[in-house]
């Protein structure tokens, strides 16, 4: 078999995987719409979806007013966190790096909690003030991690230790806010740490969707440079890749993606770690396939977690952040053991 034929077969195989994942994502999307407190079949959910928001049936009201914003928010939050996690892993060459493990999610959560405590608004909009505070703190921590990592040549141990420090620091600050806040505000902040899709609105859906789309288009244009970086920093520089600028751009884009997720529904852990690794197992390191594959995997993981959160709690939806953490913690332990065997120091 010639090299060209082998390459074409690889492309066909990876394209088939992406197509199959997209089908699975579509099935999970419809299933998430159908699952809930009201007894609704999948056919009724699909019928209500196609009936449109103007329909006067009970099913249409439930789908368009309650479930569809939650499902779309879960989809966009999953894709944004997976995209952020993938690119952070690429630019740091660290399999354990993600918004959660580097403290970016904790910083964004603290920013949101700070906004809730003091009632910060932007252009008269409280939700915009919350998202802006989350982005600012996520950006500050991203810059701090980048600065620390650049001084140590992005050494894996340095990055993870920096992430642990950031996590504990901002968790402590958030706990201080809760301690000093009124009982009502403290309860809101506490609920924020779990990541609850019941906070979803059409505003959160539109904002998260727009940010995810813009960031994906931005990163797609840099897919070749990011692929080159995965084979080594020196090799990437020799190919003309501006490594330092690329890292700054990706950290900023990742901070925006994390803020769009955390700023609306709260902290969602480990999606940015699990989804990219699942995609890498079947698609390899080529960003042309890995980037859309990670997006699809992140959306599928969040939708599956949303379905599980509804099924595990009768009458009220379990915070989806609990489900993702239950999946992510053993996965992180597996990665730690795996990287240790491969010589992680």
Tell me if 306 is assigned to some domain. Answer: yes
CATH code of 204's domain: 1.10.3470.10
Lowest mean per-residue pLDDT among 26-35, 134-143, 324-333: 324-333
Tell me if 128 is assigned to some domain. Answer: yes
Whole-number average pLDDT of the chain: 83
341 pLDDT band, cuts 50/70/90, is low
Under 8 Å between Cβ of 127 and 204: yes
Under 8 Å between Cβ of 197 and 317: yes
How many domains, in total, are found in the chain?
A: 1
Tell me if 26 is assigned to some domain. Answer: no
DSSP helix/strand/coil, 125? strand
Tell me if 14 is assigned to some domain. Answer: no
Residue length of the chain: 345
Tell me if 1 is assigned to some domain. Answer: no
Both tokens assigned to 199: 């906070």
Tell me if 9 is assigned to some domain. Answer: no
Tell me if 143 is assigned to some domain. Answer: yes
pTM to 2 decimal places: 0.87
Q: 96 or 87, which is more confident? A: 87
Q: Which residues pair with 125 in a beta bridge?
A: 122
Q: How far is CA 191 from the centre of its chain?
A: 19
Domain range holding 79? 65-341
pLDDT in tens, 164-201: 888 889 989 988 988 888 888 888 787 777 777 877 88
Under 8 Å between Cβ of 138 and 255: yes
Determine the pLDDT at residue 154.
62
- In this predicted structure, the answer to whether residue 345 has a pLDDT above a threshold of 50 is no
Tell me if 85 is assigned to some domain. Answer: yes
């Amino acid at each position: 078999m010639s090299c060209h034929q082998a390459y074409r077969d690889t492309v066909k195989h990876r394209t088939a995987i992406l197509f199959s994942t997209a089908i699975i994502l579509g099935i999970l999307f419809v299933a998430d719409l159908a699952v809930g407190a009201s007894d609704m079949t999948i056919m009724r959910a699909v019928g209500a979806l196609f009936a449109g928001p103007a329909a006067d049936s009970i099913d249409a009201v439930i789908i368009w007013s309650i479930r569809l914003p939650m499902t779309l928010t879960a989809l966009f939050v999953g894709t944004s966190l997976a995209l952020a996690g993938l690119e952070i892993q690429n630019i740091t060459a660290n399999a354990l790096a993600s918004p959660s493990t580097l403290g970016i999610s904790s910083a964004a959560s603290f920013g949101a909690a700070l906004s809730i405590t003091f009632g910060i608004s932007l252009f008269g909009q409280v939700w915009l003030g919350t998202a802006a505070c989350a982005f600012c703190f996520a950006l500050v921590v991203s810059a701090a991690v980048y600065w620390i990592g650049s001084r140590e040549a992005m050494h894996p141990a340095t990055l993870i230790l920096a992430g642990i420090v950031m996590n504990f620091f901002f968790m402590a600050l958030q706990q201080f806010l809760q301690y000093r806040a009124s009982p009502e505000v403290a309860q809101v902040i506490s609920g924020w740490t779990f990541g609850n899709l019941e906070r979803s609105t059409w505003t959160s859906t539109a904002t998260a969707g727009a940010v995810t789309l813009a960031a994906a288009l931005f990163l797609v244009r840099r897919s070749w440079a990011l692929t080159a970086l995965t084979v080594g920093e020196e090799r990437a520089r020799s190919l003309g890749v501006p490594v330092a600028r690329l890292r700054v751009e990706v950290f900023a884009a990742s901070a925006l993606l994390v803020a769009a997720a955390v700023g609306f529904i709260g902290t969602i852990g480990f999606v940015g770690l699990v989804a990219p690794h699942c995609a890498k197992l079947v698609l390899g390191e080529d960003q042309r396939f890995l980037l859309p594959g990670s997006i699809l995997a992140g959306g599928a993981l969040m939708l599956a977690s949303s379905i599980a959160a509804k099924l595990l709690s009768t009458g009220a939806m379990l915070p989806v952040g609990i489900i993702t953490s239950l999946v992510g913690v053993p996965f992180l332990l597996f990665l730690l053991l795996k990287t240790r065997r491969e010589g992680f120091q």
